[in-house]
Every structure is written in C-alpha cells, then in structure tokens.
Amino acid sequence: MKRFMAMLNTNKSEDPPPAELLDLAAQLCQAHQSSSPSLEKLVRAMMGCRHEMYFLTNIHVVRAFVSVYLRQGHHDTACRLLENCKAEEKEQLVQLWHEIHYQKAMEKQQVDFLTPLQKFRCRKRNPPPLSLCPGGLKTRSYSDDVRRQLRSFATGVTANPDRKQREELAKDMNLQPAQVYNWFANYRRRQKA
C-alpha cells in the first residue's frame, strides 16, 4: 500500500499514468477485497486522483469502488460508475449492476437475502444500461414465428408431442429438444389455468 501511495504521488502529473501503477492498483484491490478499512483507504486515494478513469479500466478496481459505495449506501453513485467505466469485462459489469440492485432491494425490504423470483423481478425492473450491453439484452423468449409454429402444432396436432415429434420440431426451429419440451409443458399448464 505504501509503495502504491508513493507511486501515486510521484506520478500525479503524468498522463497517462504508468502501467505499473495501474497494475499495482488492481493487485491491491484484489488483495484487500475482504478488508474494508484498507480497501476504503485505497479507493479514496484513487477517487481523489486525476487519473481515476484510468484506474476504472480494470475490473478489480471497479469491483472495489462498487464495494465501497455499497458499504456507504451510495447505490446510485455505484450505478453511475458502472455506466461510465471503461472495463472490458462486460458480463462481470452486468453482474455487478444486478448485485447493486439486489443490495438496494434487500435494504428496502429489510431482508438478508432475496429469493430467485425476487432477483428475477429486480433484474426486470432494473435492466443494465446500453453502455454495459452494447449488443442489447439477451432475451429468453422465442421469436413470433417460432411461437406461432409451436402454437399451431399444439392446436392442430397435439399439445403433448412424443419424443420423436419434439426432436423434429426442435430441428425445424433451430431449438434444443428440451426447449420444445418445456414450451409444451408450459403451454399445457397455461391451458389448464
């Protein structure tokens, strides 16, 4: 930590900062993840630095910043940080985005954990921004054409196809047989209701 602080002070005016300083920051963030006072001191030093955005290109540093913000109850600040950081690990950033909103929901509901359904609802209410998902959010729903074909088969042939029929449907629609099986099981449940 002392070495990092000394390097930070000697490279205040250098733009961009040396790679060694950025690597050391990432290593320290990773090493002090479980030690809140040390991590907070480290994050405060990087926050006050004019090179803050350079540090935020590393996922370990981003994770440390988010962790400190969450401990302080600054959920919105943590979200803004994720929206603007330049780390390449988009999947991990999306996961952090969800963790922030889980934490916020747990505090609001005054519970220690969320059920899978509560987490699902939390993700639906708080989708990650486009800056974290440049390709858009992945959806699990089928296209209208696939749904139309499956519905047509269910109403015209059978709502309970055998294994061979499911495999043929899966092949025709570029799905997995398990997906076809689940679609028909859900279809039958919806019809009963």
The string of pLDDT tens digits covering residues 70-115 is 989 999 999 999 988 888 888 889 999 999 999 999 999 999 999 9
Q: Which of 34-38, 45-49, 135-139, 164-168 has the lowest mean pLDDT?
A: 135-139
Q: Same domain, yes or no, for 128 and 102?
A: yes
pTM of the model: 0.67
In 1-112, which ranges are continuous DSSP H helix? 2-10, 19-31, 36-47, 52-55, 59-71, 75-84, 90-109
Top pLDDT among 16 and 182 is at 182
Which domain CATH number covers 183? 1.10.10.60
Identify which of 77, 73, 123 has the alpha carbon closest to the alpha carbon of residue 98.
123
For residue 138, is it within any domain?
Answer: no
For residue 139, is it within any domain?
Answer: no
Q: Same domain, yes or no, for 39 and 89?
A: yes
For residue 66, is it within any domain?
Answer: yes
pLDDT at residue number 136? 61
The string of pLDDT tens digits covering residues 53-65 is 888 899 999 999 9
Q: Same domain, yes or no, for 70 and 101?
A: yes
